[in-house]
Structure 1
Amino acid sequence: MLVRRAYIPESLQPGDRAEWPFTVPCVKQLAEEGMTFDRPVTFLVGENGSGKSTVVEAVAEAFGLDARGGRAGRKYGNDRPKTPLGEVLRLETTAAGARMLSGPRLKKRGFFLRAETAFDMTQNLGGVRGYWEEDTSEMSHGESFLTVFSAMFRDPGFYVMDEPEAALSFDSCLRLVALMHQLGQSGAQVVCATHSPILASTPDADIIEIGEHGWRRVTWDDLDLVDHWRRYLNNPRAYLRHFVNGESEQP
């Protein structure tokens, strides 16, 4: 473990919580209580617009990672303006985390992968020193994502992901589950925002469900996401009739 808690110090608390992102329930709760990280692998699960990406971006920035994505220790990675939450969020680290953050730039280990910018990375960074050797520009999205994971998520470090399942098939999601579990056991730490019930099933992971209620810890079986997928796969028409014209009201 490298990070124990994300919080906003009293001196940096927003004066006006009527402004975004502090109007988002999970961000408001984070500002009031902080968010602890109790296990090496943590998932933030919620609907679009729930604020999970806003939180993971800020957590990445607080560890010195670029909110647009990339590896730790880049020379100019911290020169860009931060997100509004990233400006004020701070991390309470373990001794190992403090040593990494205060140590030489090239000794920092971590990566922020976000679905919106990962494709550009796979097109442009293959063969670049410090990244991966393979030419990912000639691979499928799923293959290139897995190449990035294998190359950049392998040392004890701090790894943040925002919806990494975007380009992954079922089998590829399972491979990422195995990788995250191995990272957690190796001394690394993973914080991941996801819509995927497969990723959220990573053994021994901590799951934080985000929504209108703010955020709360739940088990995998109690996730609304898991319940909806189970119901949908059992009877798709019960859901589709509300969205597809011409569907019968009876499944």
Structure 2
Amino acid sequence: MLIERAYADLPEGMGPAGEGWPWRVPCVRQLVEEGLAFRAPVTFLVGENGSGKSTLAEALAEGFGLDSYGGSAGYKYASSREASPLGRRMRFDPTREGRAMVRAPRIRRRGFFLRAETALEALSGERASQRISRHPGEMSHGEGFLLAFRERFSQRGLYVLDEPEAALSFTSCLELIALMDELGRAGAQVICATHSPLLTALPGAEIVEVGEHGMRSVKWAELGLVDHWRRYLSEPRAYLRHVLGQ
């Protein structure tokens, strides 16, 4: 692992409650007040749309020096997009193993930020700089993701993923689980924002549930999304009758 805790400082002159987005988002308030502790090499951020999990994942990536649009540490090629207000205020308490990387110049940090909505542009940049062997335009969306996983998720560093399951089949998700486990065992650190009960089942991973309550550590079996998927797969009509009017 590289990071033990992440936290953010409020902009100078801002009151303790924060003013406007993203400072009033419950998970961001908790990040400012308490920080977010990392207890395992792989951490999942789970929550409903709008809960702030993607905002949090993006800021963690930006604070570490990963391309704010998605991509590798030390390089900016996908866009001229600047770091978010939260990303600019992010701070880290590194582990002993991660101290040299976290405190090093951006160019010496290692890792990758993969966000579903900008992955094509980021991976095109990776191909242009010869960091992956094929152009993502030559493959399906899911195949492009897997190529990045296989060829760029290969060294000790910080890997931040924002809903990677969006492009992956069931079998490909299993491949990603194996890779995340391998990275964690090799000393890397993975932070993944997801809606997937499949990914979050990785043994030994930390699961942080994000919502109106802020952030809290939960077990896989306690996740609301796991309960809903179980119920839906057991009896789809129990859910569909509410949305189809039948």
TM-score (norm 2): 0.92
Question: How many Å apart are 1:77 and its aligned residue?
Answer: 8.9
Matched residue, 1:175: 175
Q: Does 1:158 align with 2:158?
A: yes
Question: How many Å apart are 1:129 and its aligned residue?
Answer: 3.1
**SS of match in other structure, 1:131:** coil
One-letter amino acid of the structure 2 residue matched with residue 211 of structure 1:
G
**SS of match in other structure, 2:156:** coil
Question: How many Å apart are 1:84 and its aligned residue?
Answer: 1.5
**How many aligned residue pairs are there?**
245
Question: How many Å apart are 1:192 and its aligned residue?
Answer: 0.6
- The equivalences for 1:80-159 within 5 A come to 80-103=81-104, 106-122=107-123, 124-125=124-125, 127-159=127-159
Write the distance in 2 (CA, Å) between the matches of 1:4 and 1:130.
33
Q: Is the 8 A contact 1:132 1:148 kept in 2?
A: yes
Write the distance in 1 (CA, Å) between the matches of 2:4 and 2:52.
20
Write the distance in 2 (CA, Å) between the matches of 1:46 and 1:81.
26
User: 5+ unaligned residues in a row in structure 2: which ranges?
Assistant: none
Write the distance in 2 (CA, Å) between the matches of 1:125 and 1:87.
23
Matched residue, 1:31: 32
1:65-104: CA deviations, max 9, x gaps? 1221110122679985321211212111123322113446
Which range moved further: 223-232 or 14-23? 14-23
Q: Is the 8 A contact 2:77 2:125 kept in 1?
A: no
Which range moved further: 175-184 or 85-94? 85-94
Which range moved further: 161-170 or 126-135? 126-135
Question: How many Å apart are 1:128 and its aligned residue?
Answer: 2.8
One-letter amino acid of the structure 1 residue matched with residue 214 of structure 2:
G
Matched residue, 1:185: 185
Write the distance in 1 (CA, Å) between the matches of 2:108 and 2:88.
24
Write the distance in 1 (CA, Å) between the matches of 2:93 and 2:14.
19
Which range moved further: 77-86 or 143-152? 77-86
CA-based RMSD of the aligned residues comes to 2.1
Write the distance in 2 (CA, Å) between the matches of 1:219 and 1:182.
21
User: 5+ unaligned residues in a row in structure 1: which ranges?
Assistant: none
Question: How many Å apart are 1:107 and its aligned residue?
Answer: 3.8
TM-score (norm 1): 0.90
Question: How many Å apart are 1:26 and its aligned residue?
Answer: 1.1
Question: How many Å apart are 1:224 and its aligned residue?
Answer: 0.6
Write the distance in 2 (CA, Å) between the matches of 1:75 and 1:179.
25
**SS of match in other structure, 2:43:** strand
Q: Is the 8 A contact 1:126 1:137 kept in 2?
A: no
Write the distance in 1 (CA, Å) between the matches of 2:104 and 2:19.
38
Write the distance in 1 (CA, Å) between the matches of 2:78 and 2:103.
16
Which range moved further: 188-197 or 124-133? 124-133
**SS of match in other structure, 1:241:** helix
Question: How many Å apart are 1:208 and its aligned residue?
Answer: 0.2
**Change beyond 3 A, Cα 1:191–1:172:** same
**Change beyond 3 A, Cα 1:198–1:42:** same
Q: Is the 8 A contact 1:65 1:77 kept in 2?
A: no
Q: Is the 8 A contact 2:23 2:29 kept in 1?
A: yes
